[in-house]
Structure 1
Amino acid sequence: MIEVQGITKSFEGLQVLKGVDLRVDAGEIVSIVGPSGAGKTTLLQIMGTLDRPDSGRVSFDGEDPLSMNASRLARFRNRNVGFVFQFHQLLPEFTLLENVAMPALIGGRKRSDAFAAARRLVDYLGLSQRMDHRPSELSGGERQRAAVARALVNDPMAVLADEPSGSLDSRNRAELHRLFFDLRRDFGQTFVIVTHDENLAADTDRRIMMADGMITSIETK
C-alpha cells in the first residue's frame, strides 16, 4: 500500500537517510525503532509527505503524491494520512470535539458530516463526557486519544505516529498501545509507529530496526 524506494535525505551536508526501501501493507501495524539520530522521524515524515527526499520515490497504492503540486498534495495528505505526535498538538482554543473534526472541515466535508464522524470516534474512544472540554482540561491520556481520533476522522489509508506514547505514564501508555490494535481489529486501520518503547515494538507485526540512516534488520512477529 505505502512504499518508499531508494529514499535519501541530507541536512546541511549530513546524510540522514541512505537509500531506504520499505513497504507497508494495508492493515499492518509496523514499528520503526533505533537509536536517536537513526533517521526514523525523517523517514516517517517523508512517508507522510510532510517532507521530500533528495532522491527516491514514495507511493500510495501506486500513486506518487510527491509529483503533485502543493495544493493537490495538501488535499491528498488530508484525505489519506493521519498523524499522531508525541505531544498531542491539539489546538488550545477549540474543544476536544472541534479538534477531532478539524481535518474533516479542512478537507471540505459538510459541517454536519464532519462533526458526526468526530462524535462517532469520540464515542468509540470513551471520550463522550469530555467532548466539550478544551485540551487544558483533559488528562494526558485523554489528549492523546483525542489526537488519535483526529488522525482517524478522514478514514485515512494509514496513521503515522511519532513516539505517540512518549509523554504518557505507564498506564496511559499501555491503554494507547491496546487502542492501536483495537483500531486495526475494528476498522482495519494501518499504523506505522516510530517508538522507543520496546514493549510496543515487540507486539507489532513487523519491527523495523534503523541505524545510521539505513534499515539494518526487520523482525516479523
Structure 2
Amino acid sequence: MIEVTDIHKSFDKLQVIKGVSLSIHDGEMLAIVGPSGAGKTTLLQIVGTLERADSGSVKFDGEEITGLKDSKLARFRNRNMGFVFQFHQLLPEFSLEENVALPALIGGTKRSEAFSHARKLLDELGLGNRLDHRPSQLSGGERQRAAVARALVNDPKVILADEPTGSLDSHNREELYKLFFDLRDATGKTFIIVTHDDTFALKADRVIHMKDGLIV
C-alpha cells in the first residue's frame, strides 16, 4: 500500500533519517519502535505527508506523492490519512462534536453530513453523551478516543499514531490499543504506530526497529 524508498531527512546539519526504505501493507498493524532520537516520528511524518523528505520517494497505492504541490498534498492527506497524537491535539475552544467534524468540513463535506458522521463515531466510541463537552471536561482516555474519532471521520485508508498512549495510565493504554485492533479488524484500515510500549509492539503484525536514523 505504501512504498518508502531511500528516504533522507536533515534538520540544519543534523541528519535524522539516513536512507530508509520500507513497504507497508494494506490492513497491517505496524509498530515502529526505538530509542528517543532514532527518527521514528520524522519517518511517521514523512509517510503521513506532514513533512517532506530531502530525497527519496513515497508511493501510495502506486502513486508517487513526494512531489505533489502543497495544496494537492493537503487534499491527499485529508482524504487518505488520519492522525492520532500523544497529546490528542483537540482544539480547546470547540466541543467534541465540532472537533471530530472539523476534518470533514475542511475536506468539503456538507455540514449536516459532517456532524452526523461525527456524532455516529463518537457514539460508537462510547462518547455519545459528551458531544457538547469541551476537551478540558474529559478524561485523558476520553480525549484520546475523541482523537481517534476525528482521525476516522473522513474514512481514511491509513491511521498514523505517534505515541498515542504516552500520556495515558495503564488501563486507558490497554483500552486504546484494544480499540485500534478492533477497528483494524472491523474496517481493514492500515495502522502505523510509533510507540515505546513493548507490550503493544509484541501484539502488532510487524515491528520496525529504528536507531540513529536507520531501520535496524
Normalised by the length of structure 2, the TM-score is 0.98
Give CA deviations for 1:132-174 in whole Å, capped at 9, x if unaligned: 1010100000000000110010011101100000000010000
Cα separation, 1, equivalents of 2:196 and 2:62: 30
Cα separation, 2, equivalents of 1:131 and 1:173: 23
For structure 2, which runs of at least 5 residues remain unmatched after alignment? Answer: none
Matched letter for residue 129 of structure 1: N
Matched letter for residue 133 of structure 2: H
Cα separation, 2, equivalents of 1:167 and 1:61: 33
Specify the alignment match of 1:73 in structure 2. 73
Deviates more, 1:186-195 or 1:65-74: 65-74
Give CA deviations for 1:26-71 in whole Å, capped at 9, x if unaligned: 1110000000010000000000011111110011101122221111
1:33-44 alignment runs, 5 A limit: 33-44=33-44
Specify the alignment match of 1:219 in structure 2. none
1:137-156 alignment runs, 5 A limit: 137-156=137-156
Matched letter for residue 110 of structure 2: K
Specify the alignment match of 1:109 in structure 2. 109
Specify the alignment match of 1:25 in structure 2. 25
Deviates more, 1:49-58 or 1:115-124: 115-124
For residue 190 of structure 1, report the CA deviation from its aligned partner. Answer: 1.1
Give CA deviations for 1:47-100 in whole Å, capped at 9, x if unaligned: 001111111001110112222111111111100111110001000111111101
Cα separation, 2, equivalents of 1:164 and 1:70: 26
Specify the alignment match of 2:169 in structure 1. 169
Normalised by the length of structure 1, the TM-score is 0.96
- Count of aligned pairs between the two proteins: 216
Give CA deviations for 1:201-221 in whole Å, capped at 9, x if unaligned: 1100001000111100xxxxx
For structure 1, which runs of at least 5 residues remain unmatched after alignment? Answer: 217-221
Cα separation, 2, equivalents of 1:190 and 1:180: 10
**RMSD (Å), alpha carbons:** 0.8
Specify the alignment match of 1:64 in structure 2. 64
Cα separation, 2, equivalents of 1:110 and 1:46: 30
Give CA deviations for 1:113-132 in whole Å, capped at 9, x if unaligned: 11121112111101101111
In the alignment, does 2:93 pair up with 1:93? Answer: yes
Cα separation, 2, equivalents of 1:55 and 1:167: 33
Matched letter for residue 3 of structure 2: E
Q: Secondary structure at the match of 1:67?
A: coil
Cα separation, 2, equivalents of 1:109 and 1:206: 35
Specify the alignment match of 2:3 in structure 1. 3
Specify the alignment match of 1:126 in structure 2. 126
Specify the alignment match of 1:210 in structure 2. 210
Q: Secondary structure at the match of 1:91?
A: coil
Q: Secondary structure at the match of 2:71?
A: helix
Q: Secondary structure at the match of 2:63?
A: coil
Cα separation, 2, equivalents of 1:23 and 1:66: 15
Matched letter for residue 116 of structure 1: S
Specify the alignment match of 2:136 in structure 1. 136
Matched letter for residue 96 of structure 1: L
